[in-house]
Chain A
Amino acid sequence: MRPEDFDFVAKLLKDRSGLVITRDKAYLLESRLTPVARKRGLKGLEDLVGGLRTAGEDLLREVTEAMTTNESFFFRDIKPFDQFKAMVLPYMLANRAAKKTMRIWSAASSSGQEAYTLAMMLKEEGAKLAGWKIEIVGTDISTEMLEKAKAGLYSQFEVQRGLPIQLLVKYFKKTAEMWQIDPAIRGMVQYREYNLLHDLKPLGQFDVVFCRNVLIYFDQPTKTRVLDNISRVMPDDGFLYLGGAETVLGISDKFKPVPEQRGIYATTRVPGK
């Protein structure tokens, strides 16, 4: 790949999605974009990049989507969800008892496993949540991933990564070779196409935000910008979840770690013991 082509695509990706691709990852561009070029009947990457310079929204979107990482699985890392059940949910139930509403956001929701994990967990809480209005919103920039998430169809491999068998039996139906999540669970999550680099206010306010394994793809200024953006749509006593390799330390002063709870950050107040 020619250096000027690499630079052009790298800038395009950064501007559109925040994704940072360094020169040493040029192979990633080649391996993921060559199929896009072929699909369009183009000879190779050079033609694709040539096309991108004058391209319409369609191709720009396709290239951006091809470069995003969409790995996701149910109950990913387990611990964050245990913490949600043991600490975050009881805190919210106590502190939102008057209005009985709560909003949760799965930011960069990919194929929907995180949002559906939360939906299943809330469903399992049963009577405790009677009378509550809890919204779960999943957003992603990839329309392909959003479609997959909405359909709630997963391969046998996907439903075996992290999902306890009892929940598979309870909330999924087998359709030919795929497993489809129950319409009642699907109905608990709304999916929307959204770019984390944009103004997030139209999404409304969220009490709990899951933004795990997203910041790792951004450079420092973009991380700061995204965290600041997120903080603006959270209340004073909201909780933010980041991935195991991510932190707010040295990146944003809008959040602080919750003591002894790895991966959870509080907007300002920390729930009292």
Chain B
Amino acid sequence: MKSCLIVDDSKVIRMVAKKILHELSFKTEEAEDGAQALEACRRAMPDAVLLDWNMPVMNGIDFLREMRKLPGGDHPVVVFCTTENDIEHIQEAITAGANEYIMKPFDSEILQAKFSQVGLL
């Protein structure tokens, strides 16, 4: 069973994502911001990270850069999931090491399509 770390400061989004990911047979863990997510990665590297951009304490892009520097930090497939929907943000995410990018609002079809594109399904 693959694992996915859901990083979003919205409880509702985490719940929605968790439900979809469980249906896709993922084991999930949650984090409310980038700092918590980084802690989770230090404990155990997930196979996938579903990552919000704007969060308190540490945002998504800073988390991503830090996570990629950790031992084993190149393993997780990172899919951004954010309301930021301009080319500049997408470009920045890719440069920082994101594998895919979902623009909110999203549904299970989009999440599934993106996860299968990056080989998680």
Contact = CB atoms under 8 A, between A and B. Distances in A.
Given A165-B101, A166-B94, A160 B86 contact: no
Interface residues of A, number: 14
A162 interface: yes
Interface string A154-192: 001100111011101100011000000000000000000
Given A169-B90, A169-B94, A161 B113 contact: yes
Interface size class of B (residues with CB under 8 A): 10 to 19
A157 B91 CA distance: 19
A156 to B, nearest CB: 5
Contacts of A160: 102-103, 106, 110, 113-114
Q: Is the interface of A mostly helix, strand, loop or mixed?
A: mixed
Contacts of B91: 169
Given A160-B103, A162-B117, A168 B90 contact: yes
B44 interface: no
B110 A161 contact: yes
Contact of B117 (A164, A169, A173): A164
Given A160-B113, A174-B86, A174-B87, A165 B94 contact: yes
A78 interface: yes
Interface string A135-161: 000000000000000000000110011
A173 B87 CA distance: 8
Residue in A75, A165, A168, A169 whose Cβ sees the most chain B Cβ within 10 Å: A165
Contacts of B113: 160-162
Contact of B103 (A78, A156, A162, A169): A156
Nearest to B90: A169
Given A78-B116, A156-B85, A164 B100 contact: yes
Nearest to B103: A156
Given A169-B87, A174-B87, A161 B109 contact: yes
Contacts of A157: 110
A78 B94 contact: no
Nearest to B99: A165
A164 B102 CA distance: 10
A161 B114 CA distance: 8
Interface string A58-84: 000000000000000001001000000
A231 B93 CA distance: 46
A168 B101 CA distance: 10
A183 to B, nearest CB: 16
Contacts of B94: 165-166, 169
Interface string B76-90: 000000000111001
Nearest to A73: B113
A168 B103 CA distance: 12
Contacts of A164: 100, 117
A157 B107 CA distance: 9
Contacts of A169: 87, 90-91, 94
Nearest to A177: B85
Contacts of B110: 157, 160-161
Interface string B37-80: 00000000000000000000000000000000000000000000
Nearest to A157: B110
Nearest to A168: B90
A162 B94 CA distance: 17
B111 to A, nearest CB: 9
A164 B100 CA distance: 7
A163 B92 CA distance: 18
| 3 smallest beta-carbon distances between A and B, as pairs | A165-B101, A160-B110, A165-B100
